Amino acid sequence: MMKELTPRTTDYLVSFGECMSTRIFATYLNKIGTKARQYDAFDIGFITTDEFTNAEILEATYPALAKRLHGDWINDPAIPIVTGFLGKGWKSCAVTTLGRGGSDLTATTIGKALGLREIQVWKDVDGVLTCDPNIYSNAKSVPHLTFEEAAELAYFGAQVLHPQSMRPAREGDIPVRVKNSYNPQAPGTLITKARDLSETVLTSIVLKSNITMLDIVSTRMLGQYGFLAKVFSTFEDLGISVDCVATSEVSISLTLDPSKLWSRELIQQASMN
């Protein structure tokens, strides 16, 4: 019908599934006698950048959310059922999506805005595991993690949590508990700002696949200042996130975020710069 599929159109299109599912779930809860109220995130204060398909939540979101959800609860208490991974662009006022981990980020943002005691994230595994259960079937859940550990594990391959989704909880110092929807009795993993690491040898082993590795070799690096700054400014101009970096006297080796698509046009553009 539209005869186009821009990132803005894509975000608007994919928002409908979430809007429909939350309405269905809120209706079901009300039918079984649990009073609930459905909310579209873009209508209750989730204010984001206009970076469609990968928007970032802006600071103005927190007071707006608190005012709306607190106000509604005081006037007419009902369990809020909020759409995940959606927001409203602050300039465009169009529907945006938050990218990978967006639903968890929605939960932690609401948790920080309301100053909750604990945020729970329900997954299909018993919390954060000692390794990938698809590789080793005897993987066990890790009972406690710090936010730093959770971010490192997520960044380097653990699929349970996305590092960005933990940021609001970390800033608000609110514990996050990861539970299993298919095994509610499992204690899961509790993520807090600090924990006792005196007896810990190894927390978890993670694997990151499909990474792009780039070697930059230049004798001009030797004893020169500003060379690394030029290299990283090129990545900044292209919007490419760098994962790991190792340097020697005449070379830089780095891995690039696999979520960013590397096309031939980007590589040619980089080499021209």
pLDDT tens across 45-95, in order? 999 999 999 899 999 999 999 999 999 999 999 999 999 999 999 999 999
Q: What is the pLDDT of residue 50?
A: 95
Instruction: Give the end-to-end CA distance of the chain in Å, rounded to a whole number.
Output: 39
Closest CA to 47 of 93, 13, 10, 81: 93
Structure tokens at 14: 């994919």
Please state, rounded to an integer, the average pLDDT across all residues of the chain: 87
Q: Report how far residue 195's alpha carbon sits from residue 193's, in angstroms, rounded to the nearest whole number.
A: 7
Q: What is the pLDDT of residue 263?
A: 52
Closest CA to 166 of 137, 194, 191: 191
DSSP state of 182: T
Q: What is the pLDDT of residue 102?
A: 87
> Model confidence over 24-52: pLDDT tens digits?
999 999 999 999 999 999 999 999 999 99
Look up the CATH number of the domain holding residue 35.
3.40.1160.10
At which of 91, 116, 141 does a domain end?
Answer: 116
* Domain co-membership, 71 together with 125: no
At which of 161, 186, 208 does a domain end?
Answer: 208
Total structural domains within the chain? 3
Q: Which domain holds residue 1?
A: 1-116
* Domain co-membership, 92 together with 173: no
Q: What is the pLDDT of residue 151?
A: 80
Q: What is the pLDDT of residue 270?
A: 52
For tokens 């698509």, the residue is 261
* Domain co-membership, 9 together with 88: yes
At which of 208, 225, 254 does a domain end?
Answer: 208
For 215, phi then psi, to 5°, come to -110, 125
* Domain co-membership, 196 together with 128: yes
Q: Report how far residue 141's alpha carbon sits from residue 45's, in angstroms, rounded to the nearest whole number.
A: 35
* Domain co-membership, 1 together with 111: yes
* pTM summary value: 0.78
CA distances from 201 to 160, 196, 262 (A): 22, 12, 37
Q: Report how far residue 148's alpha carbon sits from residue 131's, in angstroms, rounded to the nearest whole number.
A: 17
Look up the CATH number of the domain holding residue 268.
3.30.70.260
Q: What is the pLDDT of residue 197?
A: 76
Q: Residue 161 pLDDT > 90, yes or no? A: no
Please tell me which of 113-117, 194-198, 214-218, 255-259 the model is most confident about, judged by mean pLDDT: 113-117
Asked if 178 and 123 touch (Cβ cutoff 8 Å), the reply is yes
Cβ neighbors of 26 (< 8 A, separation 6 or more) are 36, 37, 38, 81
Asked if 152 and 161 touch (Cβ cutoff 8 Å), the reply is no
